[in-house]
Amino acid sequence: MSTKYLLDTSVLVLSLKQDTTIRKRLSATEVSYIPSIALGELYYGAEHSVHVEKGLAEVDELAKTMIIVSSDSTTAKVYGYVKHELRVKGLLIPDNDLWIAAVAIQHGLTLAARDQHFTRVAELSFEQW
């Protein structure tokens, strides 16, 4: 059984930059999932770039190759629980990353990311790419 990956923004940005390590990992992955939160971060990056139209087109193309996973009320419940647990431990991470972690936990996906702070989320299946 192959691992199903939810890709964090940090991995997606490297994919857009044609990073060979990330490209190899993605080509070896049967199906990749992208959280709508990360997709929003990519669109923001494109809008904020020097080459807006090119960036938007690249994000559009990337989004076509993956399954987009949206947040819902169950995600919100997971988010609330995880944020509370991290706050109690004094180990908060950025809110968008909390939402991304909640999506991964909710759907039983392994989060592929570059950010080490995801290791603070005990319930999360995480791989550093």
For the chain, the structural domain boundaries read 5-128
Specify whether the CB–CB gap between 40 and 66 falls below 8 A: no
* CATH architecture of structural domain 5-128: 3-Layer(aba) Sandwich (3.40)
pTM tops 0.95: no
C-alpha to C-alpha distance for 76 and 100, rounded to whole angstroms: 11
Residue 70 and residue 100: Cα distance in Å, rounded?
A: 10
Phi-psi region of 56 (alpha: psi -120 to 50; beta: other; left: phi over 0): alpha
Q: Which residues pair with 69 in a beta bridge?
A: 35
d(CA 70, CA 50): 28
Q: pLDDT digits over 79-121, tens only?
A: 999 999 999 999 999 999 999 999 999 999 999 999 999 999 9
Q: What would the pLDDT profile of 28-69 be if each residue is shown by its tens digit?
A: 888 899 999 999 999 999 999 999 999 999 999 999 999 999
**What CA–CA distance (Å, rounded) separates 101 from 125?**
9
The partner residues of 6 in beta bridges, in order of sequence, read: 33, 111
